[in-house]
Amino acid sequence: MTRKSRGIYKVGAARVDFDQLSILCHDHRNRMPPKPMDLLYLLAEEGGTVARDEIIERVWEGNIYVGKRAVNDAIWRLRKALDQDPEQASAIETIPKIGYRLAAPSARIHQQNDHRSSSHTSPWLLRRTTLIALAVSILFAMAVAIAIWPAKNTKTHSVLGALYVTPFTLSAGVEHDAAISQDGRLLAYSFSSSKHSSRILIKSTENHEYLPQELDQGPGFQRFPTFSPDGERLAFVCHQDRIASLTIINRKTGQRQVFKGIGLIPTRRIEWHPKSELIAFSAFDSKLKLAGICLLDVLSKETRFVTSEQVSPYLVDYGVHWSPDGQSISFSRPTKMGSDIFIVNMQGSTRQITNDGVQTWGADWEPDGTSLIISSSRKTTHNLAAMLWRSDLNGEPLSLLGATPQSLYFPEIDPDGDAIFAYTAEPQVNVFLMDLTSSSTMISVTNSSESNSDPDYCPMNGRLVFSSTRNGQKEIWSSTLEGEDVRQLTDLKRDSAFPRWSPDGLEILFIAYNANKTHRTVHILDIASGKFRQLGSDFDFYVCPSWSRDGKWIYATKYENGEFNLWKLSSKDNSSQTVVENGFYAQESVDGKMLYYTKDQENGLFASPTAGGVETRLIPWLGTNGLTWLLGEHRILFLSANADGPEILSYDLTSGRVTPQRSVDPGCWFASRPWSYIPESDRLLFSLNFEDQGEIVQVALDVDP
């Protein structure tokens, strides 16, 4: 669809600016990708029902392969932006088996001398000048975030003015892995429009009219670009045929250097030293079973670890950023519930910056080297977007730099310090089905625009139960294995998750927040009556539940006093007892005589008699998260990994032998969620993370009041 000036429309309660790609509804502004806005404009102009085929033809230029899936995603994005009032019907109505129509009243707003409606005004030129309405909505979001943040966690550090956010990339696909050159004039990033390849693009930060340039047309996945100190060379991660390499290309001569066999983990960031020929990256030594931050000397081709632990590549230190003086590296270290930020110097001495285990999404140094800008939602801001925080590296609590309605991930700071490039997206999770006896393609069971996870299959009734956000809240749902006959089972609006069928198929176990959303509690749903009961009190915090084989007990991980311990709760009353100290996720054997489990602070998969007895570590599993494993009658399936990608292994309960079961496409990113098994067809159910749309935005720090 050809893009030209379209002006501003009133759609229901929303103000839709098609030229600025934004929707303002009830003081909440959403920056939108071009395709959803093209679709909305089409619906507004047509005024009636528009068939899906016509939408694909006019918005996606007839690309059926991309369009069918993209239409669902675009409609979901538009509804999320337009449907701010839960009491009102959706602004976009689905016409079954035909298409969609705009149900909300719409009309163009005629405004004279409105520069936003001018076809001669580029949205890129508005980076620092106007966007007053956007600034108001952002300041409102900041005020809300600051209001709910406890006073004891707020420093007397002034916020650097308003955060003006403008899109920097807006292609249909995923654009991420931003890296800025030393002079701040160029930004390199990874672009992917399919799940089979990605390319490195380079774009000017000074003239937005210049189209991005492709660095290299080689095959495979290209990610995590980083400039050499002089900007003439660009290093990036290349992943093809399960082989990861660090590739360096001279942008002027095209000369190429390729480093293989260095243990490079292809899903983690790399960064060039600001003044030398060192490149920092996350690595895994398969012989020593060590993972950590490694340094590559481009001249000598030698490597050395500066941090290393015996952990899985999935739990490796990651997100490297050199300090401006090149003396230290900031990085993230995974925890069971999130990650913490650390700093390591060239001698390998580490210092912890955050210590609450809350999820962080990258950190970068400010130009003076005395502070870090960190992306995080923080634990006291439940369900809020990832915001930008400042740490002055002195042990004080983080101070809020700013927030926007959308999450801001993986900050990359301009060398002048007046802007931050960040990645914004809405990652999703879906349930997939894999045949364990063949290399056939994985099948999406819950293919939708919403996140779906935690699958569990019941052989008694042949149905699947899972958690989903398809109605805006995470609730428990059920369907057939083909994804049909979908039914919503809970409506608690308390982040219900981790559903597990009872052995007799009559009840479903799950966890949800209490009424105050401060603690996670265990619930059991009776399918026949639709009623549920809570186990324990509102002040217990449980995760990762599972049934005993006789249905009398519930195993669950209890979090208290900063520790995880495995507990056993009666499914009939409130009696409970500790089973394994430091235990994390448990599954009981088919005969009910043995309990298998992972631990919070110890690597491995363990077993002990349910009646009590000696504990045995069966598998020296480095683990990925303690959840991605499954107990069967004769074997244990578990997810392992090396530098080339994930792999499903099988542990024979009789012989104790470990054998490969199934290699997995390196582009698959397993979610840290439980698995389920379909015995009659030898198939595995699991959750995968994915993103179909993501953009890089520019966050301008305007110091003027």
**pLDDT for 637:** 93
Q: What is the dihedral of CA 400, 404, 407, 410, to 10 degrees?
A: -60
Measured CA distances, 12 to 25, 44, 200, 536, 615 (Å): 9, 11, 41, 45, 63
**pLDDT for 400:** 83
> What is the CB-side half-sphere exposure of residue 495 using CA atoms within 13 A?
12
116/123 Cα distance (integer angstroms): 8
What mean pLDDT do residues 220-239 have? 94
Res 148 pLDDT > 50? no
CB distance 223 to 268 below 8 Å = no
CB distance 466 to 431 below 8 Å = yes
57/612 Cα distance (integer angstroms): 65
DSSP, residue by residue, 459-501: TTTTEEEEEE-TTSS-EEEEEETTS-S-EE-----S--EEEEE
Q: Could you give the percent of the chain with pLDDT greater than 70?
A: 83
**577-607 pLDDT, tens digit each:** 999 998 999 999 999 999 999 987 787 899 9
542/520 Cα distance (integer angstroms): 5
Beta bridge partners of 227: 234
Geometric angle at alpha carbon 204, from 329 and 220, rounded to 5°: 70
The SS3 of residue 353 is coil
Token pair belonging to 452: 């779906």
Token pair belonging to 99: 């298409």
CB distance 165 to 697 below 8 Å = yes
| 8-state DSSP, 53 | H
Q: Token pair 């071009």 is at which residue?
A: 34
Q: Place 107 in a pLDDT band, splitting at 50, 70 and 90.
A: confident
**pLDDT for 113:** 39
Which 3-state string (H, E, C) describes 288-341?
A: CCEEEEEEEECCCCCEEECCCECCCHHHCCEEEEECCCCCEEEEEEECCCCEEE
Strand pairing class (278-285; 463-468): unpaired
Count of CB atoms situated within 10 Å of the CB of 326: 15
Residue 156 CB partners (closer than 8 Å, separation 6+): none
642/632 Cα distance (integer angstroms): 24
**pLDDT for 666:** 60
Count of CB atoms situated within 10 Å of the CB of 103: 15
pTM beyond 0.75:
no
414/503 Cα distance (integer angstroms): 56
Q: Place 102 in a pLDDT band, splitting at 50, 70 and 90.
A: very high
| N- to C-terminal Cα separation, the chain | 40
**pLDDT for 188:** 95
Q: Identify which of 138-152, 206-220, 375-389 has the greatest average pLDDT.
A: 206-220
Geometric angle at alpha carbon 626, from 590 and 496, rounded to 5°: 85
Instruction: Report helix angle 34-46 to 52-59, nearest 10.
Output: 120
Greater pLDDT, 511 or 538: 511
CB distance 477 to 464 below 8 Å = no
| 8-state DSSP, 442 | P
| 8-state DSSP, 521 | E
Res 426 pLDDT > 70? no
530/7 Cα distance (integer angstroms): 49
| 8-state DSSP, 171 | -
Token pair belonging to 409: 């991930």
What mean pLDDT do residues 245-272 have? 94
**236-254 pLDDT, tens digit each:** 999 887 788 999 999 999 9
CB distance 490 to 532 below 8 Å = yes
CB distance 660 to 644 below 8 Å = no
CA 581 to chain centre: 30
Residue 115 CB partners (closer than 8 Å, separation 6+): 121, 130
Token pair belonging to 413: 């700071």
Report the amino acid identity of residue 391: S
**Cβ density class 338-354: b for 16+ within 10 Å, e for less:** bbbbbbbeeeeebeebb
Query: 519: closest CA among 554, 543, 488, 547?
Result: 543
**pLDDT for 80:** 80
Average pLDDT value over all residues in the chain: 82
